[in-house]
Every structure is written in structure tokens, then in C-alpha cells.
Amino acid sequence: MRKAIIAATAALGFAVPASAGVITLGSITQNGANDFTFTYQGTLGPDEGLRAGDRLIIYDFRGYIDGSISADGNANVAVSVENTSPGGIVTPGFDDDPNIVNLVYTYTGPDFRNTGGPFTPFDFDGLLARSTLGGMAVDAFFGLSTKNNPDGVPGGSNTAVFSLGQVTVPAAAIPEPATWAMMLGGFGLLGATARRRSRPGRVTS
């Protein structure tokens, strides 16, 4: 079993909150051949709370294994996947590939710290999904949350907060250096064989 801890990735917040939410990859766990669990964690900023319908989208989760998305231990979070996410905002420089599923985590519980802030940042985890791919690439995330204090223009408590940024998602694994050496050696051998076979034969009388 392999477990890799990934460093936090940067998030870019829009407009309302003093500190927007951040989503990062916490770990990758190998369950078997072509089966890897990607576990995500996040933080709500001091100015952020939640209302029913607020959501997090992780775009283009490659190699998704059907039925594997989960919000482990988060009873007030519904999970789903979709190929495109209308209403979501994609981080500049990325796109929403309609051929690759997006992970969607939707808050379904009661109002949570959506007035009376700012508060201390709130950490959460347990958002996960499995992939057939164990490598890593960078893609986009989008978060919709709720402002919890009246500061800022425009808006105040119970207005929407949009957070977006980059997060690690699955990709095809890059071969180890030793594997590259074997592959290059094999290609060289194939090339030499092909060259030998392509030489014209000598005719003797």
C-alpha cells in the first residue's frame, strides 16, 4: 500500500470574503492494481459559512471509478458526479472537459456559521473518490459558500462567496527512472533489429 502526502495548492478567492476557502489533496492511497483513493481536505475562511445548496466542484477527475465518490463522516454533504457543471466558474487557464467527470459535494444541512462572523478558519476533510490512475496533475476547483459578516462592498451576511483555484487530480503515472531506462533500452534494441532487417542482402555469384 502506498500513501503520498501532497503539499497544499494555492487558491484564488473572488470578491466578498477577506479569506476565501482552500481545497487541497490530503493523500493518495493505493488499494490494488489500478485502484487509488484520492482524499481531499479544505478550509472555510473566517468570512465563510454554509447554507443548503452551497457546493464544491473538483473538475476533471480522470479515471473515476463509478460509485466511489464519498463524503466520509460528513452527514450533511450529498455527493454526485457530472460531466459538465453549469453555474460553476473554472479557474482561468483551465477548462471543464465534458468527457471527464467532475466531483460535486453539496451541503444539505442547516445554516452553518453564516452570520455573526468573522470566525476562526474551519477545517474539514473526508471528501474522497477513487481513480484507476495513480499519477498526479493539476486542475481546477470551484467553491460556493456564504458570507457571514456585513463587511465589504457589495453584500453582507448571507450573500454568496465564490472561491476558485488549483487542486491535484489523478493522471497517468510517470514511469520511474529505472523503467524509463528499460523502455529506452528496449526501443534501442528494436531500432537496431529494424535497421539490420532493412539492409539490402548481398548477392553472390
pLDDT tens-digit series, residues 116-162: 888 999 999 999 999 999 999 999 999 999 998 876 555 678 889 99
> Three-class SS of residue 190?
helix
Distance CA 202, CA 25 (A): 63
Which DSSP state fits 174?
P
Half-sphere exposure of 115 (CA within 13 A, CB side): 3
Q: What is the pLDDT at residue 21?
A: 74
CA-based Rg of the chain, rounded to a whole angstrom? Answer: 23
Residue 106 burial (CB < 10 Å; 0-12/13-18/19+)?
A: middle
Residue pLDDT tens, the chain, 205 long:
333 322 222 232 233 334 457 899 999 999 999 999 999 999 999 999 999 999 999 999 999 999 999 999 899 999 999 999 998 999 999 999 999 999 999 999 999 998 888 899 999 999 999 999 999 999 999 999 999 887 655 567 888 999 999 999 999 976 555 544 554 555 454 444 444 444 554 444 4
* Residue 53 · residue 106 · CB < 8 Å: yes
CB atoms near residue 128 (< 10 Å): 20
Q: Which residues have CB under 8 Å from 83's CB, separation 6+?
A: 98, 99, 100, 101, 102
The x, y and z cell numbers of residue 195, run together, are 535497421
Please measure the distance between the N-terminal and C-terminal CA atoms of the chain and give it in whole angstroms.
66
Q: What is the pLDDT at residue 158?
A: 85
The x, y and z cell numbers of residue 112, run together, are 452553518
Beta bridge partners of 106: 55, 78
Among 174, 85, 87, 96, residue whose Cα is nearest residue 139: 96
Distance CA 132, CA 96 (A): 20
Distance CA 11, CA 7 (A): 13
Q: What is the pLDDT at residue 182?
A: 52
Q: What is the pLDDT at residue 54?
A: 96
pTM confidence score: 0.77
The x, y and z cell numbers of residue 21, run together, are 476557502
